[in-house]
Structure 1
Amino acid sequence: MALLLSLLLAACIGLALTAGLLPYAFRLLGRLIGKSIRSKTQHRREILVQRALKEEAEQKDKQSEQDSKKKASSSTSLDSDWEKVNDGGDKTPTGNHTSSPISASDDSYDGIITFFHPFCNAGGGGERVLFAAILATQQRYPNALCVVYTGDHDASREQILTNVRNRFNIHLIPARIVFLYLTTRDLVLASRWPHFTLLGQSLGSLVLGWDAMNLLAPDIFVDTMGYAFVLALVKWLFPDVPTGAYVHYPTISTDMLESLHKEEGSGVNAGQGKGARGKAKQFYWELFAKLYSWVGGTIDVVMTNSSWTQNHVSQLWTRPRTQRKKPHPIGVVYPPCAVAELQDKIPSSGDPQRTRNILYIAQFRPEKMHQTIIEAFHAFLKTHHKDTPTESRPRLILVGSVRDDHDEKRVYKLRLQAQEIKDSVDFVVNAKWPQILEFLKTSSVGVNGMWNEHFGIGVVEYQAAGLISVVNDSGGPKVDIVVPIDGEPTGFHATTPTQFASAFAQALSLSPSEALAMRQRARKSSWRFSEKVFSDAWLGHLGNLVALATHSQKGQVERERGRERDKVK
């Protein structure tokens, strides 16, 4: 009996020790796998760096040749021609995304900064943030190589950069940007997970992250789409690699949980918390929120695109990040908006070209609530323009990009919904920047229908262009953008189709002096979201990541030297 008790006690002690060692064993396994991945991708890293240096050299030679031709041409010109050359010689080249100077460049950092953005060619606000961040990064750290993990196999680097120029007027240095193509992007599509979508997409993102790491091991890893689980994977494989997140929208939030018990105005899950099925959904979401909080605690630097997002992310991530002693607080970095360009190209007063049209700029995705806006516009026409000839009515202009067949089918369904008022509704798909600029210049009202829009770049564009905004009474448009200036309103808020219809009527019935005053207040407000403000904030957080990477590299060098000294001894 005593022997049996001794064996049981020994077994219990063994299990306890094993359980205590499991976390260490798990972390060690990650390090070993990460070391193997870094070794396996080293050759690709060397090829990419050499290609960048070669392309830079070729570009410099080409530029020198062009400069020589210009110099030769100018030296043979007449004195009167010299004056023309001199007049234009000090001007900044046109087409540059940033109107204000970036912080002085730092040639000392030459690592690989990777951006995880599987849908980088989608053409939405998130992509503007990505490429504006890369532009600022290239100007601050010209010797760094920016790598984007993407799933856009149908687009080459040249095609993507052309789209970036056309859509956002952002001009990047091609030699210092690389696109690595993922093969498992379909695993993060909502359509792939009809049930347990949040969990399914998060697990799918882990596979996608594994795909990315096996393409190239990073020196700095930044997620710009919201895949927090991928950041936790990177930390498991490469504990010394600094990780950053630019969060547009939390994957789960307290607002989402509350929306289960609301009937209207609370997004696609409104009112789904009833009965046993609803309780099960709420239980599942609460468990997922805990898991989301845990992975968020692994991230070194966290940026959010609005006060609303910061508040919700802080609720979930602050405690686990504090427990892991992450030194950098969660900060707000407002997305970059073309404020300077819009205010330069669109007049601030008079507005002789403006029609009474209502403009909605948003990707054709379900959460953008296009159907609500079409319903509201239909009600507005019925109430206020029932007997007005079609050619004299205000028009609803829906401008947005489509990512795939699902988006195209969504546009088709929206066209069917608008069939009764089709003569007063325009669908503009994948518009280029000059076309968008024209709509901003000639429309009167800008609308945003999404519930809890994380920020709302389109709304800032409305303000900078002098439109009167009508936005959903939630999220970033409510908290950060369409707020009083000098104690006076800069737009209208609404939730239901009836409220949107009423707001359209109010906006279009303002007297010329009232409308002008509101437009000017909105334009003044929009400067808070300029490209310069974004660049400065982004570079501050990126500087923290570079500092962590530099410190990590120094530590690795010291450890290598220590091992060499030990071998000599």
Structure 2
Amino acid sequence: MKIAVFNALISLAGGGEKVALSIARAFEEAGHDVHLYTYEDKSRSIDEAIKILGSYRPRNIVVLNTPKLVRLLGIGGRFVRYRRLLLVKNFLDKIERENYDLVVDTSSNTPTAVDISYIHYPESYKRGESLHRRGYELLVDKLLRKIGGETRLVLVNSSWTLNLFRKVWGDNYKAEVLHPPVDVDFFSKCEGSSKENIIATVSRYSLEKKLWELVKILRDLKNYKLVFAGSSHRHSFSDYVIKRIKEEAERYNVRDRVEILIDVSREDLRRILCKASFYVHPPFAEHFGISIVEAMSAGCVPIVYRDGGGWTDIVSKIDERLGYVNVDDILRIIHWVEAENMFNYLSSLSKIHAERFSYEKFRDKLLEMVRQL
């Protein structure tokens, strides 16, 4: 088959971009002719993004011309959803459907006039409370209605996201869970490493993650070090987030036990996770959480916010006691693991559960779903 896969900005180098690259890889490995369509962000090249993600580079990458309005608005900052949907609409207007047997959209987060829509978090028609917000939502709604269509199959990244999708769209679409792929084999190669009193957190340095709230757990964990390893982007307020982390470290007098790493290589990230005993995900309802599974592959005991796909589909399956509601709960969980000598057991169990999210399982399930279309 000839297949088109669309992702608005591969250069963002996030989880959604990794999913798009993995979809293209799976189809190429199955012998299909694949074209990956995307737009370019001048702040990071597509090849740089692929290197950061440690992902396969599709043979055919088609870089579309960015619409003038999007160039004027920029890539990040305010109106992110609106700009992304403008890129989706531009792609849908340009793609010649008759030239492809299958078209996959990984960026709209809503059912569009393609064969498969992969949804990370469902867009919905909604209204903000303020006059300014209502005006913005009207713009978004107008675009959503223009790009909406009868997709043949909706794929979502977790059962948690599927539940949200059903609340918005009901049973109007065939929808199934396809967990994002994780490079389990790579992150499990920890030969020569031993666990230390390190708590690792892997995340974009973005406002919604509230990373600075994690610093205070060091007050009562005197023997631990907290390592932040995250990606930054010029429009994601990364500088502000990093500043807040440093301020909190000074406030609690733990600056010498807080390490902030920016845009680390995959090799360095693996080195950190192989040494870390615990992985703590930020207080955010993550739709899935690729970094959670990467940490589990390296033998970290995961502690995550008790909401989102990272909890429902990943960590709750290991032990219900590894979820937190308030940041102070993290202290209680670590003390429990230590007091009950549970670390080795939970570390081994985490590695076993991580295998459920390997690239091979992702590929095989995707190809089977396509065969059934």
So what's the TM-score if we normalise by structure 1?
A: 0.57
Matching residue within 47, 55, 58 for 1:161 = 47
Q: CA distance change for structure 1 residues 315 and 406 in 2, over 3 Å: closer, same or farther? A: closer
Contact 2:89–2:147 under 8 Å retained in 1: no
- Name 1:52's counterpart in structure 2: none
1:171 aligned counterpart, secondary structure = coil
Note if 1:122 corresponds to 2:15. Answer: no
Match of 1:300 in 2: 152
Aligned partner letter, 1:337: V
In 1: Cα distance, 2:163 partner to 2:61 partner: 33
Distance 1:403 1:243 in 2: 32
Residue 248 (structure 1) shift: 1.1
- The residue correspondences of 1:97-176 to structure 2 (distance < 5 A) are 109=1, 111-115=2-6, 117-142=7-32, 144-156=33-45, 160-161=46-47, 163-164=49-50, 166-174=51-59, 176=60
Q: Give how far 1:422 is off.
A: 2.1
Cα distance in 1 between the residues matched to 2:320 and 2:358: 17
User: Which of the residues 228, 244, 247 maps onto 1:414?
Assistant: 244
Tell me the amino acid that sits aligned with residue 332 of structure 1. V
Do the aligned residues in 2 keep the contact of 1:463 with 1:526 (CA within 8 Å)?
A: yes
User: CA offsets, 1:191-221, max 9 Å, x none?
Assistant: 434xxx8xxx34x445323433465434343
Which AA in structure 2 matches 1:172?
Answer: R
Output the aligned Cα RMSD. 3.5
Secondary structure of the residue that 1:426 maps to in structure 2?
A: strand
> Are the equivalent residues in 1 in contact too, given 2:200–2:272 (CA < 8 A)?
yes
Q: How far does the alpha carbon of each residue in 1:322-349 deviate from its partner, in whole angstroms, 9 at most, with x for none?
A: xxxxxxx201001101123333x125xx
Q: Is the 8 A contact 2:10 2:49 kept in 1?
A: no
Match of 2:361 in 1: 533
Tell me the residue number matched to 2:120. Answer: 248
**1:190–1:495 distance in 2 versus 1, CA, 3 Å:** farther
Distance 1:504 1:521, change over 3 A: same
Distance 2:37 2:293 in 1: 27
Which residue matches 2:179? 334
**1:188/1:205 contact within 8 Å kept:** no
Q: Is the 8 A contact 2:321 2:333 kept in 1?
A: no
Contact 1:225–1:247 (CA under 8 A) maintained in structure 2 = yes
Paired letter, 1:462: A
The letter for the 2-side match of 1:179 is: V
Gaps of 5+ in 2: none
Cα distance in 1 for residues equivalent to 2:152 and 2:96: 17
The total of aligned residue pairs comes to 365
The answer to whether the Cα contact below 8 Å between 2:85 and 2:108 also exists between their aligned partners in 1 is no
Deviation at 1:281, TM superposition (A): 7.8
Per the TM alignment, residue 154 of structure 1 is displaced from its structure 2 partner at its CA by 4.6
Give deviations 1:167-200, integer Å, cap 9, x for gaps. 34333353x333334245465867434xxx8xxx
CA distance in 2, matches of 1:290, 1:154: 29
1:492 aligned residue (322, 340, 352):
322
Q: CA deviation at 1:134?
A: 1.2
- Kept after mapping to 2: 8 A contact 1:182/1:208: yes
Task: Tell me which residue corresponds to 1:436.
Answer: 269
Kept in 2, the 8 Å contact 1:339–1:530? The answer is yes
Q: Which residue of 2 aligns with 1:221?
A: 103
TM-aligned CA deviation for residue 303 of structure 1: 0.3
Structure 1 residue ranges without an equivalent (≥5): 1-108, 236-241, 258-272, 322-328, 386-392, 548-569
Q: Which has the larger radius of gyration?
A: 1
Question: 1:491/1:468 Cα in 2 relative to 1: closer, same or farther (>3 Å)?
Answer: farther
Q: Does 1:394 align with 2:224?
A: yes
Higher helix share: 1
1:291 offset after TM fit, Å?
9.8
> d(CA) in 2 for partners of 1:114 and 1:355?
42
1:381 paired residue number: 218
Cα contact 1:401–1:431 (8 A) shared by 2:
yes
Q: Distance in 1 between matches of 2:288 and 2:88?
A: 26
3-state SS of 1:357 partner: strand
Q: Secondary structure at the match of 1:418?
A: helix
Maintained 8 Å contact 2:84/2:108: no
Q: Tell me the amino acid that sits aligned with residue 116 of structure 2.
A: G
Within a 5 Å distance, the mapping from 1:4-23 to structure 2 comes to none
SS in 1 for 2:292: helix
Higher strand share: 2
- Equivalent residue letter for 1:382: R
Distance 2:19 2:85 in 1: 23
| CA spacing shift, 1:353–1:471, aligned 2, 3 Å | same
TM value normalised by structure 2: 0.84
Deviations, residues 70-101 of structure 1 (Å, cap 9, x unaligned): xxxxxxxxxxxxxxxxxxxxxxxxxxxxxxxx
Measure how far apart 1:352 and its partner are.
Answer: 6.0
Partner of 1:369: 210
2:331 match: 501
Structure 2 CA distance for partners of 1:438 and 1:138, relative to 1, 3 Å = same
Matched-pair contact (CA < 8 Å) for 2:304–2:322: yes
Shift of 1:252: 4.5
CA distance in 2, matches of 1:152, 1:524: 38
Matched, 1:478 2:311: yes
2:117·2:154 contact (CA, 8 Å) conserved in 1?
A: yes
